[in-house]
Structure formats: structure tokens, C-alpha cells
């Protein structure tokens, strides 16, 4: 069966459910009647033939559910049913619904802002030519003090030199 035919059958099953269900009932009834007629022609009384046909077909409700599952529209039906339930719940408690929507909006906004900062500070390249060749040196307070003392020792004389030696 072509994909277009399958798609059209699924759409028909989704939007014209009553017609499709009636066709399924008719088809199952037809098969049950055919099986019963075969048994009647074999010499079984009509009442017993109908009961025997029902027993031989098995659980008709389960068979109907399998046919519905083969149409593969149960997911969409469940989704539409869930959307309807959510809408009814939200209209029943509008203040709670509004607070949930606002909390989600603020959470999504904060998440976007934090990711933007992380992306620009941590993940993106530096805006310099040949940024991958730059070297990163971490300096703590101790190394900055040592480097400033050495700078003062080289560039000053007298009292500053003495104070820097004893500092």
C-alpha cells in the first residue's frame, strides 16, 4: 500500500471515526455471519452455529482493538484527548494555570540568559586574531605580590628598596 493511501486512511480514521467504526462493525458482523452460514450449511442448527462462530472467532472486542491499533491513529487520539483534558483543567483553575505559565516562562528566560552568557564567555573563541595561539596564565594573589615586589626592586632605589625587602 502506498504511503499516500496509508496517510489518507489514517486521516479518515482520525476525523471520521464514527464512519470507520461503523464499517469495522459491519465487516466483523459479515465475517461472523459467513462463518455461521458455513456451519448451518454443514448441518448445525442456526442458534448453535452462531454460538460456535462466536467461539471460533475469539474475543471480538480484542479483535476490534487490534484493528484500531493497526490504523496507528491511537497516538493522535490520545494526544487530542490529553489536550482537551488539559484545556478543561486550565479553564477550571485559571490562577494556578497562569502561575504555572509564568513560572515556565521565567525559567525558560533565565535558562536562555545563562546559556547565552556561558556561550559567550566559555564556549566561544576570543575576538582576537589567532586566538588559539594565546596562552592562559593564572595568577593568584601571591604571584602578583611577588611580581610587584620584583618590579619595585628593579625600578626603585633607596627606601623603597629597603621596605620591599622586608615586606
Percent of the chain, pLDDT > 70?
77
Contact 35, 50 (CB under 8 A): no
Strand (E) or helix (H) holding 32: helix 17-41
144 — pLDDT class (breaks 50, 70, 90): low
pTM greater than 0.85 (yes/no): no
pLDDT of residue 130: 73
The per-residue pLDDT for range 113-135, each reduced to its tens digit, is 999 998 888 777 767 677 666 65
Q: What three-state secondary structure class fits 156?
A: coil
Integer CA distances (angstroms), 36 to 22, 50, 60, 126, in order: 21, 5, 15, 82
pLDDT recorded at residue 142: 59
pLDDT digits (tens, 9 = 90+) for 58-108: 887 887 878 777 776 777 778 888 999 999 998 999 999 999 999 999 999
Q: Which pLDDT score is estimated for 156?
A: 63
Distance (Å, rounded) from C-alpha 50 to C-alpha 32? Answer: 8
Q: Which of 75, 70, 71 is nearest to 10 (CA)?
A: 71
End-to-end CA distance of the chain: 90
- Evaluate if residue 20 carries a pLDDT over 70: yes
- pLDDT at position 133, please? 67
Name the average pLDDT for the chain.
Answer: 79
pLDDT value at position 108?
98
Contact call for residues 84 and 91 (beta carbons, < 8 A): no
Amino acid at each position: 500500500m502506498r504511503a499516500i493511501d496509508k496517510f489518507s486512511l489514517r486521516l479518515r480514521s482520525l476525523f471520521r471515526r464514527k464512519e470507520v467504526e461503523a464499517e469495522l462493525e459491519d465487516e466483523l458482523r459479515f465475517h461472523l455471519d459467513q462463518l455461521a452460514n458455513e456451519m448451518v450449511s454443514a448441518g448445525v442448527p442456526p442458534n448453535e452455529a452462531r454460538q460456535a462462530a462466536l467461539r471460533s472467532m475469539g474475543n471480538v472486542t480484542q479483535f476490534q482493538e487490534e484493528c484500531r491499533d493497526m490504523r496507528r491513529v491511537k497516538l493522535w487520539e490520545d494526544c487530542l484527548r490529553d489536550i482537551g483534558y488539559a484545556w478543561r483543567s486550565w479553564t477550571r483553575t485559571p490562577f494556578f494555570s497562569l502561575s504555572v505559565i509564568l513560572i515556565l516562562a521565567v525559567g525558560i528566560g533565565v535558562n536562555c540568559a545563562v546559556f547565552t552568557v556561558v556561550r559567550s564567555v566559555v564556549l566561544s573563541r576570543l575576538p582576537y586574531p589567532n586566538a588559539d595561539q594565546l596562552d592562559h596564565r593564572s595568577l593568584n594573589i601571591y604571584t602578583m605580590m611577588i611580581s610587584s615586589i620584583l618590579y619595585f626592586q628593579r625600578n626603585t632605589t633607596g627606601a623603597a628598596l629597603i621596605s620591599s625587602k622586608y615586606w
